[in-house]
Chain A
Amino acid sequence: MKIFVRPSSMSDKHVPYCPGCGHGIALRLIGEAIDELDVFKKVIGIAPVGCAVRSWRLFKFDMAHAAHGRPPAVATGLKRALPDNIIFTYQGDGDSAAIGLAELMHAALRCEKFSVFMINNAIYGATGGQCAPTTLIGQPSVSYPSGRDPNIIGYPIKMAEIIASVSRNAYVARVALNSVRNIMEAKEAVIKAFKTQERRLGFSFVEMLSPCPTGWNMKPLDALKWMEEKMIPEYPLGEYSVPEGL
């Protein structure tokens, strides 16, 4: 008989996220991948601010905080110091695509051998639902209540496409955490990202489309439907770069 339990790399702490949030799923996928690849003793996670900052309580391995947007620079210093460890950053879309865009792009450009897991939930969650670089056209937020107007704040940023275009021999994928099938594929992408790093092939980046019912002002089931109908057409899923040797 198989009992559903948390991955052994995760603690039994309360999951500190809102009902219907995708963070719990994303963190669990990372935990499962760490268990399956048996890298617990050498994995180090880096979490910045916002909802992502809480991840350290859910994991049981070594972790460090970083300033808003700086995880890829911190991971650069850490990975260069400890090239045999498995280093990953866990960042939101504001962290990676707004304030930390330079750090992320340049880490990708240098082909740093660590993994970035980016949560794209099209909103700033922890601060109360402000517009993100990933917010869809027309999508309301507390900073642009009548919806994102491209004439005022531009178009949604396509991070997976950008990272695939600046890095060489990287693993780059966009996945979604809205259905069983997509979540299974997301897990595959997490494992491939870690394998890319383990084999020192190149940079690895997984953009995870993730529901934020609180930030979107929706019921959890409506949020999943909105992802399928609005978000995924804007952010096509798939692998944007697969390194040689994976």
Chain B
Amino acid sequence: MVTGNEACGEAAIRAGCRFFFAYPITPQNELLEYMAHRLPEVGGIFIQSESELAAISMVYGAAVAGKRAMTASSACGVALMQEGLSYLAASQLPCVIVNISRAGPGLGRIAPAQSDYRQMTRGGGDGDYHLVVFGPASVQEMAELTYLAFDLADKYRNPVAILADGMLGQMMEPVVLPKSRDPNDLPPKTWAVTGAKGRERNLILAAPYTDEELIAINEELEKKYRSIEAAEQRWETVFMDDAELVVLAFGTSSRIAIEAIEHARNEGIKVGMIRPISLWPFPKEAFKDLDDHVRAYIVVEMNNGQMIEDVLLARCGNTPVHHFGKGGGWRPTPECVYEEIVRLWRRVC
């Protein structure tokens, strides 16, 4: 039994991450503490930085050298990293960032919340770029998706983010950890800046010299994002074979919603669930052919309505989409989600 924060940290180390730079913030602290004691044991580097701005820049530095590096923060701390994330995306540098998010806006409070959906999937940094974003829903997924995040970051040369919250970070569950990989056995990064010894020099440039070059970089990035959208959509479906009412929920809210859905099924309500695992790319493919038999979607999220925008874009026809959620650290109970399902079922089905 380990916590989600520990599972995330251990999976990162097993993925070959030896560099972790972060600034303390609740509820991310257990991850920082885990890395602080585990990384020295495996010959890695842990630095408690002077700020989130510095933490993401240190990640940038280790990524420039071709090393697997990670940082973690929470909500308002991640906001400070947006500068670095835009630079990492612009320079096509792989890294993993973990947002054990809290409720905003502003300083907010430390309660679990999903009000960083937009911050992570849209980015707060400048320019046209995307992070790959995963929303784990269990301690097992905290481990699996963190491990996968490093491989995808390297594959696409792009930052990959984990969006969780204090509940997923601090709850304990059994976990099967992925196998350990020696950082020296990872595929070589020929683009890394390591000193021009026996090769032409390498450059990591965030700013090109001409307008034409910047347009070309944007085209290259856009091509990459389209290929990520085609290959990396991930989701889970529950009771979807005959569902007429479909709940959309990710992470913590999906765990609460599933209890309500099981209860409703026992009452004969044909309700199912699509649980996005990749938040960007959003699993649009999950909505294919659903309009024939789905009468309404209900998006359960712990915010004032953020993922609902992606659902509105992903549904094929005019099927109504309802939002059930609230910002500021509000957590739904299975009972209130059940009542919402029943209410909507009576209205549309």
Contacts and interface: CB of A to CB of B under 8 A. Distances in A.
A43 B196 CA distance: 8
B195 A67 contact: no
Given A67-B84, A106-B54, A42 B197 contact: yes
Contact of A77 (B19, B197, B204, B209): B19
A82 interface: yes
B196 A40 contact: yes
Contacts, number: 130
Given A70-B53, A76-B58, A56 B203 contact: yes
Interface string A77-111: 11111100100000000000000001101100010
A65 B57 CA distance: 11
A65 B205 contact: yes
A82 B63 CA distance: 11
Interface in B55-70: 55, 57-67, 69
Given A41-B196, A65-B204, A65-B207, A78 B54 contact: no
Interface size class, chain B: 35 or more
A70 B57 contact: yes
Interface string B287-309: 00000000000000000000000
Interface string B71-96: 00000000000011001000100000
A75 interface: yes
Contact of B62 (A40, A62, A66, A80): A80
The size bracket of the interface on A is: 20 to 34
Interface string B189-216: 0000111111001111111010000000
Interface of A: 40-44, 49, 53, 56-57, 60-67, 70, 73-82, 85, 102-103, 105-106, 110
21 contacts: A40-B196, A41-B196, A60-B196, A62-B194, A62-B202, A63-B193, A63-B204, A64-B203, A65-B91, A76-B47, A77-B61, A77-B64, A77-B65, A78-B62, A80-B19, A80-B45, A80-B61, A81-B61, A81-B69, A82-B65, A103-B54
